[in-house]
A = this chain, B = another copy of it.
């Protein structure tokens, strides 16, 4: 049971919640929070319980299974099988964490044209976390890739964004998570057209250097929703005007 809890930091990069090991093996390196599965809980409640020791669970906006990491030699000593989770915390919450725990920046995904970040049998990946204990770097990379992939075809943005935000702020979050520029105009148009975003009516005060006050938006839904893909494969009668009878 391991959790890779991601957050978009103020400096504009992805961060993961990790704690520094005080003992060998891998002393001084950073490990993901987790623990053993209890007798009367399933893995989902277990990971939330483990997480409660590190951060307030109510601050975690989304949790989902990443996959099982079971390579026999992944940790020294006795065999240990880890069910890894991806957790997301909105960028505006900064939970109090224990002394040995910190937000570590995650290195951006490798090159462009990277292969499918959605395949579960995880091959070797770029080291996403500097000085990661055991195979936790691989798990963090899988989490970062999963976030990146799902931002593109779901409303998962709700889990990394504050409840209300300006379009530019949201754009910055997407830029940090994706690692490449994003058009604010198109982001607003696409997300509002698909009814993932709606204006709150209020406006945000301008920054210190002035500028027109930006309108505030919110995600209409705060649970995961999948959107468009191949239009051909959607049930008929939802595009264009349909056939002329």
The segment out of A14-22, A52-60, A176-184, A199-207 that lies at the interface is A176-184
The segment out of A88-96, A99-107, A116-124, A126-134 that lies at the interface is A116-124
* Consensus secondary structure, chain A interface: loop
Complex-state Cα separation, A235 to B118, whole angstroms: 18
**Cβ-neighbour of A178 out of B42, B187, B226, B233 (below 8 A):** B233
Let me know if B224 and A42 touch, CB within 8 A.
no
Let me know if A226 and B72 touch, CB within 8 A.
no
- Cβ–Cβ < 8 Å partners of A227 in chain B: 229-230
Q: Is A27 an interface residue (CB 8 A)?
A: no
**Chain B CB within 10 Å — which of A225, A233, A235 has the most?**
A233
The count of chain A contact residues (Cβ–Cβ below 8 Å) is 54
Q: Is A50 an interface residue (CB 8 A)?
A: no
Let me know if A187 and B232 touch, CB within 8 A.
yes
CB A112 to nearest CB in B, in angstroms, measures 6
Let me know if A37 and B81 touch, CB within 8 A.
yes
Interface flags for A129-156 (1: CB within 8 Å of B; 0: not) read: 0000000000000000000010111100
In the complex, given contacts A152-B229, A227-B229, what are 9 additional A-B residue pairs having Cβ atoms less than 8 angstroms apart? A40-B72, A63-B121, A64-B120, A65-B121, A116-B226, A152-B234, A181-B235, A227-B230, A228-B230
- A-B contacts, 16 of them at CB < 8 A, read A37-B70, A42-B72, A43-B81, A44-B121, A65-B68, A65-B121, A119-B224, A149-B226, A152-B234, A180-B236, A181-B235, A183-B236, A187-B232, A190-B232, A227-B229, A228-B230
